[in-house]
Amino acid sequence: MTESPIRLDLFDNPDFDRGASRLTEALWIVVQACLFSTWLPGSKWRRALLRAFGAKIGNGVVIKPHVSIKFPWRLSVGDHSWLGERVWIDNLADVKIGAHSCLSQGAYLCTGSHDWSDVKFALVTRSIEIGDGCWVGARASIAPGAQLGNGAIIAMNALGRGNVDENVIVKASGEVVLRPIYSNDDG
């Protein structure tokens, strides 16, 4: 049998900065499990909890039940954005969500991965930035380092990665198409 190219017994993460003290992280884990990520309705108190743990949360942000956030102190959400049920923000690095953006049910934002070419399987983190007026569809995933331009749409079950231009739609097939822009003007 050949030796594995990855040795998980050698994994070490000494340079990773969690962004807050172990006590703050432990308190967040308890608060998230007992209150925040539950079936209880309401956005106002969820916004207050996130702010208490260092998140920058805009006005009118809607946060549905069962949302999970790894490190609130690494989260910024613009005014009137929505976080749908079971959204998971796995933010080992900063995540910035612009104003009027929607993350639909089960969307997953992932800022961490591993260097598969390193025998020690080193942790690699990269921030995510989602522009204003974006929509991340149900069960869509956003990869580490992704930057979505204003008005971009990541369709249901699609993957948003790299730089996604403004006003495009990324389909589940990976096809990228120009988003039709509709005017609110009747004339």
pLDDT of residue 93: 98
Q: What is the pLDDT of residue 186?
A: 56
Q: What pLDDT, on the 0 to 100 scale, is given for residue 180?
A: 81
* pLDDT < 50 regions, the chain: none
Four-point Cα dihedral 16, 20, 26, 29, nearest 10: -90
- Listed residue (123, 64, 134, 122) closest to 95, CA to CA: 134
- State residue 127's pLDDT score: 98
Model pLDDT, residue 185? 63
User: What pLDDT, on the 0 to 100 scale, is given for residue 140?
Assistant: 98
Question: What pTM value is reported for the model?
Answer: 0.92
